[in-house]
Structure 1
Amino acid sequence: MIKTDAVIVGAGPVGLFAVFELGIMGLNAHVIDNLDKVGGQCIELYPDKPIYDIPALPECTGESLTKNLLKQIEPFKTNFHLNQRVEKLEKKNNHWLVTTSDQVQFETPNIIIAAGVGSFEPRKPPIKDIEKFERTNLFYSVKDKNKFKDQIVCIFGGGDSALDWTVELSKISKKIILIHRREEFRAAQHTVNLARELEKNGKVEILTNYQPVNFEGNDKIEKVVLKHDSGEQKEISADSVLAFFGLKMELGPIANWGLDLEAKSLKVNTQNFETNEKGIFAIGDICTYPGKLKLILSGFHESALCAQECFKRARPDEKYVFRFTTSSSDIQKRLGVK
């Protein structure tokens, strides 16, 4: 059981700035995110797309904004729990017990939901009883690449994730079979070229204009049945299957936490951005209130006010005196300013 001042659900820009606002008040936080990397929508949906409305940054990208926010919170040595989501919440006196999908447990007085428009869920191929294979050798992300050492790995997809892992896993696998429903790939051309070179060397087999129609096996996938655009079917054997069909956004387990919802958003008060449950806050795109604007800078403002209430709950016997970072030696010390 990990005891912490706050658990932040969501590692996008607003969740990262919440780490900063808590940190300058001396509060620690653990961050949970369903994705395999930090950055949320900024990294997953538009890492290279210009953003123009971040104060003091005339132009930045989702990737550069994420990197700068991570640099800003470096002094707080934040713990990230990626490829996980909160599955269970329980009340314990004035605290919450949080359990993730990897059975990591936290005890905390504060839960800050900064999950954007919800969690990113993998798009799954429309195959009957697919869930049984998810417990064995069907994967939608890579947590430990060594799991695929000396295996025949079937990879579905035509984007960056599919091509990046085709190239990377080809270094340790027995063989990679890359399958895409179209002739053209959507990944970086450099990576596509690398995959084509690996195909010439026999490390990769590329099948285009094919889609999966069935996975055969009892508890694990033994054969993949494919269908070509022409109608021809093909069977291939595989030790593991990686499916990169993109992501969809769902509210996920949050919808079952007993929080007030309005059009898939969490209702909060604008004094401290607390929901109808004491100690559970919502900031960023996932929260709603009169006049709400779904902007990153609005989420930053919400983070600051939310953190004030978190301090009261985490340090009920202490009085917090608001200070500017320019004039507080305590804050500057926490930030490592000499």
Structure 2
Amino acid sequence: MTAHIETDVAIIGAGPAGLFAVFECGMLRMKCVVIDALEAIGGQCSALYPEKPIFDIPAHPRIAGADLIDQLEKQAQPFSPIYLLGRRVERLLEEDGDFILGTSQGDSVRAKAVILAAGAGAFGPNRPPLEELERYEASGAVRYMVSRREDFRGKRVVIAGGGDSAVDWALSLKEIAAKVTVVHRRPKFRAAPESAAQMDAAAAKGELELAIPYQLHGLKGDGSTLTHVTLATLKGEERDVEADHLLAFFGLSMELGPIAEWGLGMERSHVTVAPATCETSRPGIFAIGDVATYPGKLKLILQGFSEAAMAAHAIHPRVHPGEALHFEYSTSKGVPAHG
């Protein structure tokens, strides 16, 4: 469904920094639209390590990536952000001091300022070269991330990949799926050693199956409903595994895409910003999180949070010109009603 929206701030990227920017802008009475290429919010936290613990979030000695995103979404919720997911920003125009963004779905968003919180860029899954892949993607039989664990209850699931996502979801889904088969081309996994050891132990108990050394070779079904995934060794030996779903975790391909053509100061595929405001070389466009760079930059989620606050305060005069900003702590101010 195509949207035509006017807002105060357009945020590109729904990862942790982008979500916290909604809160910071909201505290300053600025409405936000959030655009992301993935189908769900959370960026890399949701797509790559939803169940992996993160240890360097203040006040959380340990928190899973998915739980962090849940909490950030709740924190942003009072400010009623509009999420446009599963679409990329492809066009940017300036008109009468505003920015007009066009997406791959034909949406139009008019905003007074833009915050780039695109991580390492708009990213999408590395897709296996299989025939009829798109048809099975369309039906949900082939997926590249898990948004609802319950979708796989009682299902036969083939998981392909050798990193943290593959191992984490194999350990999680074996508890509810009818069968889990993990496909990898070699015995050694790139996942956390403790997780890989847990998976080996589960395989030894028959709680899941390891198909090694195999690679994906084909899909069987009616073009919508999947029945089997065909695997093959490097020697050409093939076998069919019964499956309702294929989860392919081959990482994400990252690129700035059209953003690289916006005339922003670039340094090794990152956007250079002023450290005090996070404004780019193009007035009104700001960058925060992993996509932004400046001397002394640390690629930490907590640094992205700080940058979100700085960018929001720098944007305030563009949205509320002539209005003095009397900074108050949230402890005394509370969360304002947002109309």
TM over 0.5: yes
Question: Counterparts in 2 of 1:160-171, with a 5 A limit?
Answer: 160-161=168-169
Question: Counterparts in 2 of 1:30-179, with a 5 A limit?
Answer: 30-43=33-46, 44-45=48-49, 47-51=52-56, 54=58, 57=59, 59-63=61-65, 65-126=68-129, 139-141=143-145, 156-157=160-161, 158-161=166-169, 178=181
Asked whether the equivalents of residues 214 and 226 of structure 1 are also in contact (C-alpha less than 8 Å), the reply is: yes
Q: Which residue of 2 aligns with 1:332?
A: 334
2:295 aligned with 1:290: yes
Q: Which residue of 2 aligns with 1:323?
A: 327
Asked whether the equivalents of residues 158 and 183 of structure 2 are also in contact (C-alpha less than 8 Å), the reply is: no
Distance in 2 of aligned mates of 1:79 and 1:249: 24
SS in 1 for 2:118: coil
2:30 aligned with 1:27: yes
Change (3 A) 1:32 1:168: farther
Deviation at 1:86, TM superposition (A): 2.2
Deviation at 1:259, TM superposition (A): 2.0
Change (3 A) 1:327 1:156: closer
Distance in 2 of aligned mates of 1:146 and 1:332: 36
Asked whether the equivalents of residues 117 and 249 of structure 1 are also in contact (C-alpha less than 8 Å), the reply is: yes
Deviation at 1:26, TM superposition (A): 0.8
* One-letter amino acid matched to 1:276: S
Change (3 A) 1:109 1:78: same
Change (3 A) 1:240 1:6: same
Deviation at 1:25, TM superposition (A): 0.9
2:5 aligned with 1:2: yes
SS in 2 for 1:266: strand
* One-letter amino acid matched to 2:80: K
* One-letter amino acid matched to 1:61: I
* One-letter amino acid matched to 2:124: E
* One-letter amino acid matched to 1:7: A
Distance in 1 of aligned mates of 2:320 and 2:150: 43
Q: Which residue of 2 aligns with 1:173?
A: none
2:312 aligned with 1:272: no
SS in 2 for 1:290: coil
What residue ranges of structure 1 are gaps of 5+ in the alignment? 171-175, 200-204
2:304 aligned with 1:299: yes
Asked whether the equivalents of residues 156 and 162 of structure 1 are also in contact (C-alpha less than 8 Å), the reply is: no
CA RMSD of aligned residues (A): 4.4
Distance in 2 of aligned mates of 1:292 and 1:143: 31
Asked whether the equivalents of residues 113 and 280 of structure 1 are also in contact (C-alpha less than 8 Å), the reply is: yes
SS in 2 for 1:14: helix
Scaled by the length of structure 1, the TM-score of the pair is 0.71
Distance in 1 of aligned mates of 2:207 and 2:240: 22
Structure 1 residues 39-48 or 117-126, which shifts more?
A: 39-48
What is the number of equivalent residue pairs in this alignment?
A: 320
Deviation at 1:125, TM superposition (A): 2.4
Change (3 A) 1:236 1:253: farther
Q: Deviations over 1:175-206 (max 9, x none)?
A: x884512579877969x969x9898xxxxx98
Structure 1 residues 38-47 or 99-108, which shifts more?
A: 38-47
Q: Deviations over 1:110-135 (max 9, x none)?
A: 21111223334312225689779867
Scaled by the length of structure 2, the TM-score of the pair is 0.71
Deviation at 1:139, TM superposition (A): 4.2
Q: Deviations over 1:227-284 (max 9, x none)?
A: 1355312467989754232334433443233322101110122342222223221012
Distance in 2 of aligned mates of 1:66 and 1:239: 28
What residue ranges of structure 2 are gaps of 5+ in the alignment? none
Q: Which residue of 2 aligns with 1:211?
A: 215
Asked whether the equivalents of residues 112 and 282 of structure 1 are also in contact (C-alpha less than 8 Å), the reply is: yes
* One-letter amino acid matched to 2:88: R
SS in 2 for 1:255: helix
Distance in 2 of aligned mates of 1:60 and 1:236: 37
Distance in 2 of aligned mates of 1:238 and 1:333: 48
SS in 1 for 2:307: helix
Asked whether the equivalents of residues 179 and 210 of structure 1 are also in contact (C-alpha less than 8 Å), the reply is: no
Deviation at 1:335, TM superposition (A): 6.2
Distance in 1 of aligned mates of 2:242 and 2:61: 48
Distance in 2 of aligned mates of 1:300 and 1:315: 23
SS in 1 for 2:334: helix
Change (3 A) 1:60 1:178: closer
Change (3 A) 1:292 1:129: same
* One-letter amino acid matched to 1:2: I
Asked whether the equivalents of residues 24 and 335 of structure 1 are also in contact (C-alpha less than 8 Å), the reply is: no
